[in-house]
Amino acid sequence: MTHLAYLVAGWGIALVVLGVYGFGLLRRGRRLTGQVPAGQRRWLTSPGDDGRGG
């Protein structure tokens, strides 16, 4: 296989960055969930909202 170092670098960097970013989101989510009452963890609706994003 030609250009193996470029392939490993390109795919490796992309997958590692996406993995680290995704893992970071999960960690941030876990930390924040503890700070918010269960009733306010509804993702698509909020008090006074019609639930359709508007």
Measure the CA–CA gap between 5 and 52, rounded to whole angstroms: 48
- Fill in the per-residue mask, 1 to 40: x = in contact with another protein (CB under 8 A), - = not in contact: xxxx-xx-xxx-xxx-xx--xx--xx-xxx-xxxxxxx-x
Measure the CA–CA gap between 9 and 5, rounded to whole angstroms: 6
Q: Which amino acid is at 25?
A: L
CB of 5 to another protein, least distance (A): 9
Q: Tell me the three state secondary structure of residue 53.
A: coil
Residues at the site binding another protein, with contacts judged by CB under 8 A: 1-4, 6-7, 9-11, 13-15, 17-18, 21-22, 25-26, 28-30, 32-38, 40-44, 46, 49, 53-54
